[in-house]
Structure 1
Amino acid sequence: MLATAERLQVLTESEQLSKMILQTEIADTYRQLYDKLKTDPCTQKKIASFVRMKILYDEVQRFGRYHPDYSRVMKETRQLKRDMDMDENVARFRQVENELQQLLDEISIIIGKSVSEHIKVPTGNPFFDNASVCSGGCSTGGSCGS
């Protein structure tokens, strides 16, 4: 692969963009909450309990309702998942994680559209996926790129 001036410029600009993203308030908050999530002993205990129960859950799923511990494992798994999800550190981290993902999705759409209107950018978010494919709306007679 030959290094051209254009490729070097793209690499330089993409590096600058990544540095800008890392300096955003959302990215900073994400790192802080991630550290808190990983260091809080109560939160880690809830996560570890859920992970252990998830292993049992996967085993029970192989046999379905015929497994002797089916009801107990299903109930405990739901309870432990709820306890983990209701933990303040987990809830705040997931919220900021979604905000950061939305920022990255928006940037991906902008970059894709700057290259061509017909580029599909998979974001995992139906709102953005539809925004990157259709122009004018399929139901309004607009053209779809799918």
Structure 2
Amino acid sequence: MIGTLENASLLDDADELASMVVHSSLYAEYMASKQSVDRDEHVQQLIGKFLQVRERYDEVQRFGRYHPDYKSVIKKMMECKRELDTHPLIADYKKHEKQLSDLLGELSMVLARAVSESIKVPNGDPFFERSCGTGCGSGGKCGCHS
């Protein structure tokens, strides 16, 4: 990339936009909830427990339902995930994380559309939101159009 005044100006504008996001109330709320999660001992124990179970789950998934501990590990994984997801601090963190992600997706869409209508943006683009989210590869039989 040739260093021109125009390129430097674009980089300065990008830095300014990033600074605006970092100084937004959404970012402040996200960081506050993240710090609450990081400081809470009980939540950290839940996360540690979940990571241990997930490691076992990944091991079992290699063999699928033929693994002798398949059902018990799957059940344990779902229980740990539910316990983690329903904790108020985690729920609050995930809510703020989604709000920030949505904002960044909207920014991506605005930037892409300013360049061209044909640019595909996976974040916040209604075209991509029609998917079932599983990447099922059924060719749309499930209705997800992926």
TM-score (norm 2): 0.81
Q: Which residue of 2 aligns with 1:85?
A: 85
- Structural RMSD (CA): 1.6
1:6 aligns with 2:17: no
| Matched letter for residue 63 of structure 1 | F
Query: Is the 2:112–2:121 Cα contact (8 Å) retained in structure 1?
Result: yes
- The alignment partner of 1:77 has SS state of helix
> Take 1:25 and 1:55, find their aligned partners in 2: how far apart are those partners?
36
Kept after mapping to 2: 8 A contact 1:105/1:128: no
**After the TM superposition, which parts of structure 1 deviate over 3 Å for at least 4 consecutive aligned residues?**
none
SS in 1 for 2:121: coil
Secondary structure of the corresponding residue to residue 122 of structure 1 = coil
Q: Which whole-Å CA distance do the structure 1 matches of 2:102 and 2:64 have between them? A: 37
Cα separation, 1, equivalents of 2:11 and 2:89: 36
Number of the residue aligned with 1:71: 71
Answer yes or no: is the 8 Å Cα contact 1:60–1:73 preserved in 2: yes
Matched residue, 1:120: 120
Sequence identity percentage: 35
In the TM superposition, what is the alpha-carbon distance from 1:126 to its structure 2 partner?
5.1
Give the structure-1-normalised TM-score. Answer: 0.81
Alignment partner, residue 34 of structure 2: 34
CA distance in 2, matches of 1:57, 1:16: 43
CA separation of 1:87 and 1:62: change in aligned 2, threshold 3 A: same
What is the rounded CA distance, in whole Å, between the counterparts of 2:8 and 2:67 in structure 1? Answer: 59
Cross-structure match for 1:100: 100
Pair member with larger Rg: 1
Identify which range, 66-75 or 87-96, moves more after superposition.
Answer: 66-75
Change (3 A) 1:76 1:129: closer
What is the distance in 2 between the residues matched to 1:31 and 1:76?
Answer: 30
In structure 1, the gaps of 5 or more residues are 131-146
CA offset at residue 6 of structure 1? 0.5
Matched residue, 1:20: 20
Q: Which runs of 5+ in 2 are unaligned?
A: 130-146
Q: Secondary structure at the match of 2:63?
A: helix
